[in-house]
Amino acid sequence: MTAPEFLPFTRPSIDEATIAGVAEVLRSGWITTGPMVRDFENALSQCFGGRLVRSLNSGTAALEIGLRIAGVGPGHEVITTPLSWVATSNVILSVGARPVFVDVDPVTHNIDLERIEAAITPATRALMPVFLAGLPVDMERLYTIANKHHLRVVEDAAQAFGSRWQGQRIGAIGDLVAFSFQANKNLTCAEGGALVLAAEPEALLCEKYRLQGVTRSADGEMECDVLGGKSNLTDVAARIALGQLPSLEAVIERRKALARRYFSLWDRSLDCQMPVEDFANSNWHMFQVVLPERVKRPQFIARMREAGIGIGVHYPPIHLFALYRNLGFREGQFPHAERIGRQIASLPLFPAMADSDVDRVCAAASKAFS
């Protein structure tokens, strides 16, 4: 009897029509930023009710440029969560500011909004919430705090493309909203991102920041008046994303169906903390469980791998990395994030999975615990 195929925790799905479309772009002679990027930005704008959108080569670039547009720089502070991919706080350091971490809500795993106001100082310039695994924070509460203290919000919606808040898509509301289209997202262009902006001057500034600060006049004359970088998206990448955009809602519905199956089949006697059952707002980018303290996560991952199943870790708490310890952060400051970060495990979840794959994961997890 042959062993079943290895089941990774995620896998992108690129259809043949998209592959053919990429080949057309490669044959066109225009493979960097051009007509496909413009089409992609227009399509994203339609997704967000006509808001201004500029594409970038990563979600990290979207966050960093969002901070710059918000006026964040040296001497400033940005409040964010310690439970995220490290890029969330690295970009704060990149613009010369200091991250101020606030512990997470033990149920949602997102930043605890009730703790934010106590962390605000005269140096605070922005809030950067993260929608972990695609689950948004309470947007009304978030923006009530931001408006009360005259703060910008740079939403780290890297995992939340297609998520909603009270019926509206994340990105269609709010201030500056950064998305990622990296390979494990429900819309991917291999590597890429986008920033939703509040006003035309900010969109023009984003264009400068993404390409060396340069602007060109109609007669070809160039000017450079800000320090920009190299963060533009290619037409090749944009074509990959455009091929997937029409199936976005179907992808999310499939993710929801798989999540519901996990909820129905997972052995609750294993004493894991399950994710919030939010099928109205979350896009179910990931299905994460928090293992009980009696279970050593490395052993669980090893046993699942022996069963041919990949498990992800999203994420170790940022403040315990050496870079941040050197800035003065220490263990014990954010106990909820530390406990969750120590025990969280991302189960396989991607649209191409079969129902039987969920069954297999649940059965293997029960065996791994025993």
Please state, in angstroms and rounded to a whole number, the distance separating the CA atoms of residues 82 and 328: 14
C-alpha distances out from residue 326 to 85, 320, 329, 356, Å:
18, 10, 7, 46
> Pick the catalytic residue: 148, 185, 230, 367?
185
Among all chains, which residue has been given the structure tokens 């971490």? 101
Q: Which of 173, 132, 156, 183 is nearest to 79 (CA)?
A: 156
Q: Which of 152, 156, 164 is nearest to 60 (CA)?
A: 156
230 is catalytic: no
- DSSP letter string, 317-359: -GGGSHHHHTTT--TTSSHHHHHHHHHEEEEP--TT--HHHHH
- H/E segment holding residue 193: strand 193-197
β-pair partners for 346: 288, 312
Q: Is the alpha carbon torsion for 234, 236, 237, 243 positive or negative? A: positive
Positions annotated as catalytic residues are 185
